[in-house]
Amino acid sequence: MKEEISVVIPTLNEEENLSYVLNNIPKCISEVIVVDGYSKDKTLEIAKKFNTKILYDKRGKGSALIKGLNAAKGDIVIMMDADCSHRTEELGLLIEGIKAGYDTCMGSRFIQGGGTADMPLLRKFGNKFFVFLVNLFWRMNYSDLCYGYRSFNRNAIKNLNLESKGFAIETEISIKAAKNKLKVLEVPSFEKKRKFGKGKLRTFRHGVEISRKIINELFRR
C-alpha cells in the first residue's frame, strides 16, 4: 500500500520564504496545508499560487499546528517551518521512520549528523536544560526538544490531545509522546538559518512558556 503524506506548515508573514519551501516539496507529498496566523504580507497569495490547502488560526504557532495536524488526511503527517530552516532533503528520513513502524519521528539537531546554524548560545543552554528535565521526569532519552521538524503516524496524533497555543507545542508533543508510550525515533536534522525576515521566538518569554508547560504536565496524570 502506498501511504499518503501530508505536510503542515504554520505561517506568519513568511512571504519571502514560503515560495522557496513550497518549490522544494517533493512530488511524493500528497497534501500541503498552510495554517496562517493572518499574515499581513503576501504569504497567502503565495500559498494559493502553489495550490496548498489554507487554514487560518489567530492564536499562535502551536494552535495553528494543532489545527493543521488534525485536518491532515495523510497516513503520515509532517510538520515543518516556513522560514527555510528545515531541509526538504530530510523529508525522506521523517517519512521512512514512520514507514518503519514508529509513531513519531523527531528531527534532532544534537545527534550525530544533525546541527544548527540558527541557534544562539543562550537558546542552546535553555534547550539542553529543558531536554534534561523532560528526560528526568518522563524517563526518556531525547537529545532535542524545541524543534519543529517532525512526522507522525496520523493515528498517533489523536491520542496526544494537544493544546499548546504557542511555542511550547514541541515540548508538549515530546512529553505526551512519552506519557502515551509512543514509539519515538529521533533522526538527525540540520537547522539552517532562516532565509529572510525575523524569527518570532522570544527567548525569555517562550522559555517561561516552555517551563510552565513542563511543570503543568508534571502535575497532571
Ligand X SMILES: Nc1nc2c(ncn2[C@@H]2O[C@H](COP(=O)(O)OP(=O)(O)OP(=O)(O)O)[C@@H](O)[C@H]2O)c(=O)[nH]1
Interacting residues with ligand X (CB under 6 A): 10-12, 14, 35-37, 57, 60-61, 64, 81-83, 85, 118, 194, 199-201
Nearest to 116 by CA among 148, 138, 141, 139: 148
Closest separation between CB of residue 182 and Mg ion, Å? 25
Nearer to ligand X, 14 or 75 (CB): 14
Nearer to ligand X, 57 or 144 (CB): 57
Among Mg ion, ligand X, none, what does residue 67 contact (CB within 5–8 Å per kind)? Answer: none
Nearer to ligand X, 116 or 153 (CB): 116
> CB-based contacts of 210: which residues, under 8 Å, 6+ apart?
126, 130, 146, 167, 168, 171
Nearer to ligand X, 102 or 142 (CB): 142
Closest separation between CB of residue 99 and ligand X, Å? 26
Nearest to 171 by CA among 156, 160, 181: 160
> Phi, psi (5° rounding) for residue 56?
-125, 145
| Distance of alpha carbon 35 from alpha carbon 193, whole angstroms | 22
Among Mg ion, ligand X, none, what does residue 37 contact (CB within 5–8 Å per kind)? Answer: ligand X
Bridge partners for 190 per DSSP: 115
